[in-house]
């Protein structure tokens, strides 16, 4: 069974994404910031990391750099709900750092699951 780590400081978003993944036969782990996410990533084999950009303590960009340093082949889906221009610029930066895909919040369940499926297969 595949394991997905979700890192987002918004508890409602964490619950929503876990709900979307409930029927997908995957294990989900959740963290509310980059530091907690890195700790889980280091202690558990993870197939996909879904990470927000704007978070306290360690933001998504810094966390992506750390993840890629620890495991260059890790698969990362970055999500952001930042302002139109700012959010898109950060998503581009995250992809340049190694995130394979990016979604702008709000996104549909269908778009989310299609992206997750393509990244896991």
Tell me how far apart the alpha carbons of residues 17 and 39 are, in angstroms, rounded to a whole number.
Answer: 20
Domain count, the chain: 1
Q: Tens of pLDDT along 52-92?
A: 988 888 989 999 999 999 999 999 999 987 654 455 676 77
End-to-end C-alpha distance for the chain, whole angstroms = 12
Helix (H, G, I), strand (E, B) or coil at 25: coil
Task: Assess if residue 113 is contained within a domain.
Answer: no
Percent of the chain with pLDDT over 70: 93
Q: Which two tokens stand for residue 64?
A: 């992506």
Task: Assess if residue 100 is contained within a domain.
Answer: yes
Task: Assess if residue 60 is contained within a domain.
Answer: yes
Distance of CA 46 to the CA centre of its chain: 12
Task: Assess if residue 117 is contained within a domain.
Answer: no
Question: Domain residues for 18?
Answer: 2-82+92-108
Task: Assess if residue 103 is contained within a domain.
Answer: yes
What CATH number corresponds to the domain at position 51?
3.40.50.2300
Task: Assess if residue 116 is contained within a domain.
Answer: no
Tell me how far apart the alpha carbons of residues 93 and 96 are, in angstroms, rounded to a whole number.
Answer: 5
- pLDDT for position 85: 44
* pTM score, whole prediction: 0.91
Task: Assess if residue 30 is contained within a domain.
Answer: yes
Task: Assess if residue 98 is contained within a domain.
Answer: yes
59 half-sphere exposure, CB direction, 13 A CA radius: 9
**Looking at the predicted structure, is the pLDDT value of residue 115 above 90?**
yes
Distance of CA 84 to the CA centre of its chain: 19
76-80, strands of its sheet edge to edge: 26-31, 2-7, 48-52, 76-80, 101-104
């Amino acid at each position: 069974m595949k394991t997905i780590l979700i890192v987002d400081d918004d508890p409602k978003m964490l619950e929503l994404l876990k709900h979307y993944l409930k029927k997908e036969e995957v294990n989900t782990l959740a963290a509310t910031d980059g530091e907690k996410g890195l700790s889980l990533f280091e202690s558990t084999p993870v197939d996909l990391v879904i990470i927000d950009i704007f978070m306290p303590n360690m933001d998504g960009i810094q966390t992506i750099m750390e993840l890629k340093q620890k495991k260059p082949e890790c698969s990362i889906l970055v999500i952001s709900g930042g302002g139109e221009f700012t959010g898109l610029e950060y998503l581009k930066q995250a992809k340049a750092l190694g995130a394979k895909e990016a979604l702008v919040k709000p996104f549909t369940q269908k778009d989310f699951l299609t992206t997750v499926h393509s990244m896991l297969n």
